[in-house]
Chain A
Amino acid sequence: MQHRVSPFLMSILCIGIAVLYVPILVLIGYSFNASALVSVWGGFSTTWYAQLIHNDQILDAAWLSLKIGVVVSTGSVILGTLAAISLVRFKAFRGRLLLTGMVNAPLVMPEIITGITQLLLFVSMLNLLGWPHRGFTTIVIAHIAFCSAYVTITVQSRLASADRSLEEAAMDLGSGPVRAFVDTTLPSIAPALASGWLLSFTLSLDDLVISSFVSGPGASTLPMVIFSKVKLGVSPDVNALASLIICLVGVCVLFAGYLMRRTERQRVLDEQMAER
């Protein structure tokens, strides 16, 4: 269905993409600026990157964010995949509408509302049950709630298009339903799980608003530290830090995209093989 794209559409596309990328590229460029004055180009230098290594506040925050990211993405992949299996495989069950709603709502809910309401829950829980204390635990719980929604959406479409005949064959040969699923369907959706993990990781690593609400004293994530610095204006060490994070997230997203594309291609190949 090849069709000529009008020059008008093509030029808007190019301008749009340029607008999306120019600020990021300029930011990365200026992170290598030797001058401490952010508007004057003073030659190429990696000073600001070297300075980050000696900034304890930033290192602590980065370490906390990485720990949170790993726990959150692992938890989100488990919960999100269970939710995806529920929605794809069990057509009718009590609570299905509720689950569908709760999986889709976090995608559009303004973060500020999610953050406030979750904080109020945690504070009331701490008052009544003595758990959880605000900090690492509460940030992890809050992040899993919205990251698992993204995992569910990623896995759901893959699971819906997965071929069930192998799983049925395994069950005919005597495997239990869980064993059959783990042996046949799980490997075919594994790349979707991996990309779900990476996407949860970037979402958790980037979150500012929800973390700010549910975190407690002494637990500052990387975005919280960056935000307090950015409020004061543009500074060269934030340029370096931001460039590092953007590159890390970029690698995660590209890798996730690569995994998804590879399964897609594999699926098409399998279908062609099957037709022969």
Chain B
Amino acid sequence: MAAIPQQAVPQTLPRTSRGEWLKRHGKWLIILPPLLYLFVFFLIPFAFALVISFADTAVRVPPFTDILSVSPDWHIHLTLNLGNLKYLFTDEVYGLSYLYSLKTAFFSTLICLAIGYPMALAIARTSKSTQSILLLIIILPFWTSFLLRVYALEGIIRETGLLNSALLWLGIIDHPLQIMRTTFAVYLGIIYSYLPFMVLPLFATLEKLDHSLLEAAGDLGSPPWRAFLDVTLPLSMPGIIAGSMLVFIPAIGEFVIPTLLGGPDNLMIGRVLWDEFFGNRDWPVASAVAIAFLVLLVGPIALYQHYSTKQLEA
């Protein structure tokens, strides 16, 4: 934790020394509020979740037991329940849903990259004034509610939706396709929702790309595809990593999309967590799942932080 100014300024001090104190420590007045706020309300909660993952469920408010208790004869009792942790490894629903989430997030990210990269490249190659308009067009859905966009997608792909109506009318199919409540719908939902998250960081790196390098490659006889592979692709690596992580990490924990678009088979970890919490009201097991999930995310998050700070500095 940050150092806190040692003592408050006594009111009797002459004005000069108070000025002196402010000059030396005044910056902490700016640094401390956000640092403390995020520390208490973003970081400390993880510690609470870790502690509660060792508790037992109990029929009371809040619905779990205390880890530390003081008995009437002044003994402090530390009760750690490792059962939740064991439960994670023995009940296969957690492992399976985690692996399923990883798989879904991985392939969705790949497809987003395959669609998003040419989009970002096209935007980066237009003139500056067109760029700002196109960017705004991409940013607008980026800020629009996930819930509402998933709901809008449902209007297109449901049995009586626009897609089926159009295909029926064109005579391509003779009975409506079942898209809702399938794995395909979950993929479609994730790609549709997260595409802007892929395009924006990709554009940020591709825009900075030095065009003379491509021209040099062309002058030296490289065909365009070769120049792309040798110059553009490697130089846009930070954008690829940042964009992929921005899609991959939240997609693993996605709850709204599998719940609204998926069927009973599409058990993603976010959905399991939600049910454990609201359905079974087993908070200690939910905490244990969340902590295990977080531990597995540390690697990808560190990768993202590394590449996004690199991009900021560039």
Which A residues contact B (CB, under 8 angstroms)?
1-5, 8-10, 12-13, 16-17, 19-24, 26-27, 30, 38-39, 78-80, 82-83, 85-86, 89-90, 93-95, 98-114, 116-118, 120-121, 123-124, 127, 141-142, 144-146, 148, 152, 157, 177, 199, 202-203, 205-206, 208-209, 213, 223, 226-227, 230-231, 234, 238-239, 242, 245-246, 249-250, 252-254, 257, 261
Contact = CB atoms under 8 A, between A and B. Distances in A.
Contacts of A95: 1-2, 31, 35
A104 B140 contact: no
Nearest to A12: B118
A144 B260 CA distance: 27
Which 8 residue pairs spanning A and B have beta carbons closest together? A110-B253, A95-B2, A117-B45, A39-B160, A83-B34, A206-B145, A23-B152, A9-B122
Given A100-B309, A117-B290, A230 B147 contact: yes
A249 B34 contact: no
Interface stretch (B10-18, B75-83, B90-98, B131-139): B131-139
Contacts of A234: 151, 154-155, 158
Given A23-B192, A38-B160, A242 B152 contact: yes
Contacts of B139: 253, 257
Chief secondary structure at chain A's binding surface: helix
Contact of B144 (A17, A116, A145, A246): A246
Contact of B149 (A1, A24, A90, A142): A24
A231 B151 CA distance: 9
Contact of A23 (B156, B259, B301): B156
B22 to A, nearest CB: 9
Nearest to B193: A20
Contacts of B57: none
Name the residue in A1, A114, A249, A250 with the highest tally of chain B Cβ atoms < 10 Å from its Cβ: A1
B195 A16 contact: yes
B108 interface: no
Contacts of A30: 155
Contacts of B190: none
A86 B31 contact: yes
Contacts of B58: none
A21 B31 contact: no
Contacts of A99: 31, 34-35, 38
B185 to A, nearest CB: 13
Given A109-B249, A234-B158, 13 more contacts: A9-B118, A23-B153, A30-B155, A99-B34, A108-B245, A109-B301, A113-B297, A116-B49, A117-B49, A144-B41, A146-B42, A206-B143, A253-B139
A111 B193 CA distance: 15
A94 B1 CA distance: 8
B211 A1 contact: yes
B125 interface: yes
B123 interface: yes
Contacts of B116: 16
A108 B125 contact: no
A102 B49 contact: no
Contacts of B250: 108, 110-111
B48 interface: yes
Name the residue in A24, A38, A250 with the highest tally of chain B Cβ atoms < 10 Å from its Cβ: A24
Interface string B8-28: 000000000000000000110
Interface string B252-290: 111110011000000000100110010000010011001
A226 to B, nearest CB: 6
B39 interface: yes
A27 B152 contact: yes
28 contacts: A5-B126, A9-B121, A10-B122, A12-B122, A17-B137, A23-B156, A27-B148, A39-B161, A78-B33, A82-B30, A93-B2, A94-B2, A98-B39, A102-B42, A104-B308, A109-B249, A109-B301, A110-B252, A113-B253, A116-B277, A117-B45, A124-B62, A148-B38, A230-B147, A230-B260, A234-B158, A239-B155, A242-B152
